[in-house]
């Protein structure tokens, strides 16, 4: 059993709120985390047709049966239950009554905003972080293998090949989860759309281009992007709006929550293919940025990250606010350091007035070093605080 970093915050917040909700992609380990953290709690899954019927037809009887210290999995399957949980917990007024596991952020927020606002802490659990895999001694031997294999717990727990795991995951996601969220008529076009998104990792989002290639309207693509975000398949990294007297791009960049899933969509069959793939740089960038996202979520915080690019092409891959200051990160998949790593960051630093200690280059080498322009960090040996440049 690999200890999840989020467990610390989960235990803390269960002492302060009557309800704690854990959301995240399917098979990211939500149920396992809740059961492991609260072994004395009862467990019920609303994926079970009998339990779902019980909760739907007799919600008061359901809550009377599971009146306290209960984990309710896939609670979004019975949306009406949220209102009954709100009323019941308001009357009882105790902390740690229910732990909810939800796989769709769209359905969750819709119901939380209506019923549970102010009554629940919301935590997000993603697949294993780089740090968790180091601590659990399951980190793949190379970065290319880490990119290819991804971080879903079942891959490591059951020793499943990524080429077996991800096609079924995608099939299940499309045939089941997408239909729950949106009535998408042509699923073949939606699959093509997801594959096209995988081919645009780390690039500026161009809705018109995606719409043309899929043969659908721009408004449809916009809805589909929202579906991918809500189900924790993709996320958008927003541009930084500090102008510094330069015209900036306004489009976000597209990334996947798991690089293994992205590799499957790109029809990559082995880690060796990753090494020579034209998108290797984008996949490595995605892998690194995912760590910033995961570490923020593991602290029950929203990632405070952006990227910077001006109209002349100067760019910083990642900016993060830490203690009121912005740290800048250039991400390079190469194993050999080059002074050019700091080319974009140096231009940004000159405009923003940032100091060298706010500038970092994360690469696939084997040495950490300090230069006059900033610090160079070996990704493979990163720890969370080190990765974020905290002192």
Task: Provide the CATH number for the domain around residue 135.
Answer: 1.10.10.10
Residue pair 107/177 in contact (Cβ under 8 Å)? The answer is no
DSSP 113: I
Q: Is residue 1 part of a domain?
A: no
> 277 and 143: one domain?
yes
Q: What is the pLDDT of residue 388?
A: 46
Domain co-membership, 257 together with 227? yes
**Residue 380 in domain:** yes
Is 297 inside any structural domain? no
254 with 372, same domain: the answer is: no
103 and 247 part of one domain: no
Question: What three-state secondary structure class fits 310?
Answer: strand
Nearest one of 284, 293, 159, 192 to 237, comparing CA atoms: 293
Whether 110 and 153 map to the same domain: the answer is: no
In this structure, are residues 294 and 129 in contact, taking their beta carbons and an 8 Å threshold? yes
What is the model's pTM? Answer: 0.93
Residue 68 shares a structural domain with residue 203: no
Tens place of pLDDT per residue across the chain (391 aa): 799 999 999 999 999 999 999 999 999 999 999 999 999 999 999 999 999 999 999 999 999 999 999 999 999 889 889 999 999 999 999 999 999 998 876 556 666 666 787 899 999 999 999 999 999 999 999 999 999 999 999 999 999 999 999 999 998 877 777 776 676 777 889 999 999 999 999 999 999 999 999 999 999 999 999 989 988 999 999 999 776 666 778 899 999 999 999 999 999 999 999 999 999 999 999 999 999 999 999 999 999 999 999 888 889 999 998 888 899 999 999 999 999 999 999 999 998 999 999 999 999 998 899 999 999 999 987 654 445 444 3
Residue 146 lies in a domain: yes
Sheet holding 70-73, edge to edge: 42-45, 70-73, 98-102, 19-23, 120-124
Last-in-domain residue among 59, 92, 124: 124
Asked if 247 and 267 sit in the same domain, the reply is yes
**Can you give the pLDDT at residue 1?**
79
Q: Do 328 and 270 belong to one domain?
A: no
Q: Are 276 and 333 found together in one domain? A: no
pLDDT tens by residue, 154-213: 999 999 999 999 999 998 877 777 776 676 777 889 999 999 999 999 999 999 999 999
Within the chain, where are the H helices?
7-13, 30-37, 49-57, 59-65, 81-92, 105-111, 130-135, 143-149, 153-157, 162-172, 179-181, 187-198, 207-214, 218-230, 259-265, 271-276, 280-298, 343-352, 384-387
In which domain, by residue range, is 222 found? 130-283
Question: Within this chain, do residues 144 and 118 fall inside the same structural domain, yes or no?
Answer: no
| DSSP secondary structure string for all residues of 154-216 | HHHHTT--HHHHHHHHHHHIIIIIIHHH---S-HHHHHHHHHHHHTTTTSBP-HHHHHHHHTS
Last residue of a domain, one of 283, 317, 336: 283
Nearest Cα to Cα of residue 379 among 365, 360, 358, 359: 365
Whether residues 80 and 120 share a domain: the answer is: yes
Burial class for 254, CB neighbours closer than 10 Å (0-12, 13-18, 19+): buried
Task: Give me the pLDDT at residue 245, please.
Answer: 60
Structural domains of the chain, count = 3
Residue 291 located in a structural domain: no
292 domain residue, yes or no = no
Residue 288 lies inside a defined structural domain of this protein = no
Where does a domain end: 71, 97, 124?
Answer: 124
Inside any domain, residue 88? yes
Of the chain, the percentage scoring pLDDT greater than 90 comes to 77
Do 78 and 152 lie in one domain? The reply is no
CATH number reported for the structural domain that contains residue 14 in this entry: 3.40.50.300
């Amino acid at each position: 059993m690999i200890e999840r970093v989020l467990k610390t915050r989960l235990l803390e917040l269960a002492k302060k709120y009557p309800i704690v909700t854990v959301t995240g992609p399917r098979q990211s380990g939500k149920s396992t985390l809740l059961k492991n953290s609260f072994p004395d709690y009862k467990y019920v899954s609303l994926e079970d047709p009998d339990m779902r019927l019980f909760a739907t037809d007799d919600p008061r009887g359901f809550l009377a049966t599971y009146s306290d210290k209960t984990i309710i999995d896939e609670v979004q399957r019975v949306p009406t239950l949220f209102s009954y949980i709100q009323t019941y917990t308001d009357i009882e007024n105790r902390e740690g009554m229910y732990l909810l596991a939800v796989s769709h952020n769209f359905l969750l927020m819709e119901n939380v905003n209506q019923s549970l606002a102010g009554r629940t802490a919301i935590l997000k659990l993603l697949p294993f972080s780089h740090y968790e895999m180091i601590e659990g001694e399951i980190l793949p031997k190379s970065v290319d293998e880490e990119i290819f294999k991804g971080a879903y717990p079942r891959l490591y727990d059951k020793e499943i090949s990524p080429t077996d795991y991800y096609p079924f995951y995608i099939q299940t996601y499309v045939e089941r989860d997408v239909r729950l969220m949106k009535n998408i008529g042509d699923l073949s076009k939606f699959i093509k759309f997801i594959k096209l998104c995988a081919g645009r990792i780390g690039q500026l989002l161009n809705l018109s281009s995606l719409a043309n290639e899929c043969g659908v309207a721009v408004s449809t693509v916009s809805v589909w992007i929202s579906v991918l975000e809500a189900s924790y398949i993709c996320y958008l990294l927003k541009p930084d709006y500090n102008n510094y007297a330069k015209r900036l791009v306004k489009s976000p960049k597209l990334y996947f929550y798991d690089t293994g899933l992205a590799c499957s969509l790109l029809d990559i069959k082995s880690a060796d293919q990753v090494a020579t793939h034209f998108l290797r740089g984008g996949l490595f960038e995605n892998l690194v940025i995912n760590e910033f996202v995961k570490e923020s979520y593991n602290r029950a915080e929203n990632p405070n990250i952006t990227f910077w690019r001006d109209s002349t092409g100067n760019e910083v891959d990642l900016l993060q606010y830490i203690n009121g200051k912005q740290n800048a990160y250039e991400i390079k998949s190469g194993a050999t350091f080059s002074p050019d790593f700091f080319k974009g960051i140096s231009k940004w630093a000159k405009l923003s007035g940032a100091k060298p200690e706010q500038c970092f280059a994360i690469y696939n080498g084997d040495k950490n070093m300090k230069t006059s322009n900033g610090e160079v960090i070996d990704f493979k040996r990163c720890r969370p605080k080190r990765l974020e440049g905290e002192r």
